[in-house]
Amino acid sequence: MHGGFESTILTMSTYAYHLGMLIVPMGYAHPATMSTRSGGGPYGPSHWAPQGDDVDKDGLDDHERQIALDYGHRFAGIAEKLRG
């Protein structure tokens, strides 16, 4: 459904572990992660753009925008807590 984003994100996580980085997943905190058809999931925001005549010329849909905004707030909140 998401064009392989999940496996890409999981593969990239390995490098973060080796460098001691923290990973902040989205989880299923936002209801749109369960209903989006084009992007965003428990690993974080994403966007899938199909090719062909049925391409959405407007870009991101409302679910993708909301998932990205909520993830940004979540990430900023965790960064603020870590800042001390």
pTM of the model: 0.73
Neighbours of 64 (CB within 10 A): 20
Q: What is the pLDDT of residue 19?
A: 94
Task: Show me where the domains of the chain are located.
Answer: 5-83
pLDDT of the chain, 84 residues: tens digit per residue:
555 777 888 888 899 999 999 888 888 877 777 777 777 778 888 877 766 555 555 677 788 888 889 999 999 999 999 997
Q: What is the pLDDT of residue 9?
A: 81
Q: Cα separation of 42 and 63, whole Å? A: 13
Contacts of 62 (CB under 8 A, 6+ apart): none
Q: What is the pLDDT of residue 82?
A: 92
Q: What is the pLDDT of residue 61?
A: 79
